[in-house]
Amino acid sequence: MNNGISVLTEFWKKLYLLEYIKEGGSKIKFVTGQERSGKTFFVEELTSIAKECNYLTVCLTAKETWLNNFNDFYVSIFNNAEVEDLIKRASTLIIKEMGYNPEDVKEGTTFVDLLATHEDNNALTKKAIRELLTTNFLNNPRFDNNFGVAISLLVGEVLGHPQLEKEHKDTLYSWLSAKKEVKITDIKKLEMNPYKITKYNARQMLRSLSELCHLAGYNGLFIAVDDIDVLVEKSGLNTMHYTKRKRDDTYESMRALIDDIDNFSNIFVLYAFDSKLIEMENEGLKSYQALWMRIQNEVKGNRFNKFTDIVNMDSLNNEVYDTASVIALSQCVIDAFDLSQDALLKETEAEDILVRAKQGGMPLPGLIEDVTLEKGGLLNE
């Protein structure tokens, strides 16, 4: 179904999700536009596509997640990444490399239990397991040292060797999720280096998490962060109030991730925000030149550039929408609000909306939604 933005989402799917990122690349993109220009819809559509393309997807909103400390950003991603499932999936990698079928490990048993049924649970086999854990995790250059130790021990626990006590397992998960109560003495017992996750090393942890996703069988890690414009929101109802210092810390955090992204593999990060974050020169992105100079679009042509790092939804909408895609988006509104098919826009109505959108005012997706809801009886004329 051509819903207008599919012109870009399908292009990114082919170029990035099915090729560049899947093959080990990394990318950061931004999407902006007026209120009701379809930013969130774009984020949701691309996230859905990423999931279909075998990516682990994590969606956050800046209205609920602090962005000024990268440690908090990492923890939010980690807590939404279903890490225990990643550990189990990563264990199948070892089982396959040992020449066994992971599906043969019955529910409630371990790989070591399976080896016992084949009379293969011996010192030599266990040594082979430890060597594979070392190769894939401990000596993996894309893992932080402690991250690699933690994952190696947790994967080993799933396999049944080396065995891990519950208190040590809890310590490992607490360390991975940057819990403040983790004690250095407990970390050292597990032969880990005496340091915790902080804002200074959290980017390395995110890189490690992305590598874990890859080893767990995903094509990569897809992260979407919506509502970044909360940084300049001054409403008293806003619970995530950003001072100038917090705002600058956020911009610096984003700048650092951009500069470091080439050291990542198999990761796609998408930030979305209202155009006011660009328009407000004293508080928005332009107020932090170290970030703005890295993301601004240097060359502006007459046609929309599918390779652009900052997608302007208003420009995209004006170029890609035709009567068919207006009707397709109308159908999306009907599905979302469970309306009668009688609310579906007719071709003449779609043509009228395209004309009205070019005259300025309400962004095209907003017009489509309002007229469809109006026909469906959910919006007063």
Among residues 226, 221, 224, 187, the alpha carbon closest in space to that of 206 is found at 221
Backbone angles phi, psi at 350, to 5 degrees: -65, -40
Report, as an integer, the average pLDDT of 134-140. 96
Question: What is the end-to-end Cα distance of the chain in Å, rounded?
Answer: 29
Q: What is the mean pLDDT of the chain?
A: 93
Q: What pLDDT does 258 receive?
A: 97
Q: Convert the pLDDT of each residue in 241-257 to its tens digit.
A: 899 999 999 999 999 99
Q: Convert the pLDDT of each residue in 72-101 to its tens digit.
A: 999 999 999 999 999 999 999 999 999 999
User: Token digits for 279?
Assistant: 């328009």
Distance CA(15)–CA(11), nearest Å, equals 6
β-strands 310-312, 220-226 pairing: unpaired
Q: What pLDDT does 296 receive?
A: 85
Between residues 380 and 345, the one the model is more confident about: 345
Q: What pLDDT does 357 receive?
A: 85
β-strands 26-33, 310-312 pairing: parallel
Q: What pLDDT does 184 receive?
A: 95
Q: Would you say residue 152 has pLDDT above 80?
A: yes
Report, as an integer, the average pLDDT of 315-322. 88
Q: Would you say residue 110 has pLDDT above 70?
A: yes
Per-position DSSP letters for 226-284, written without gaps between them: E-GGGGG---TT-SSPPPHHHHHHHHHHHHHHHHHGGG--SEEEEEEEETHHHH-TTTS
- The conformational region for residue 207 under phi > 0 = left, psi -120 to 50 = alpha, else beta, is alpha
Q: What pLDDT does 238 receive?
A: 75
Q: Convert the pLDDT of each residue in 47-71 to its tens digit.
A: 999 999 999 999 999 999 999 999 9
Q: What is the pTM of this model?
A: 0.93
Residue type, 289: Q
pLDDT band at 2 (very low <50, low <70, confident <90, very high): low
Q: Would you say residue 13 has pLDDT above 80?
A: yes
CB 93 within 8 A of CB 214: no
pLDDT band at 130 (very low <50, low <70, confident <90, very high): very high
Per-position DSSP letters for 28-55, written without gaps between them: EEEEEESTTSSHHHHHHHHHHHHHHTTE
Q: In Å, how far are 33, 48, 57, 315 from 227, measured between CA atoms?
A: 11, 18, 17, 19
Between residues 15 and 315, the one the model is more confident about: 15
Q: What pLDDT does 358 receive?
A: 82
CB 292 within 8 A of CB 311: no
Between residues 31 and 236, the one the model is more confident about: 31
**Radius of gyration of the chain from Cα atoms?**
24
Q: Would you say residue 381 has pLDDT above 80?
A: no
Query: Percentage of the chain surpassing pLDDT 90?
Result: 85
pLDDT band at 112 (very low <50, low <70, confident <90, very high): very high
Q: Convert the pLDDT of each residue in 267-313 to its tens digit.
A: 999 999 999 999 999 999 999 999 999 998 754 656 788 999 999 99
Distance CA(309)–CA(235), nearest Å, equals 29
Q: Would you say residue 360 has pLDDT above 80?
A: no
CB 26 within 8 A of CB 38: no
Q: Would you say residue 120 has pLDDT above 90?
A: no
pLDDT band at 212 (very low <50, low <70, confident <90, very high): very high
6-69+202-318: CATH class: alpha beta
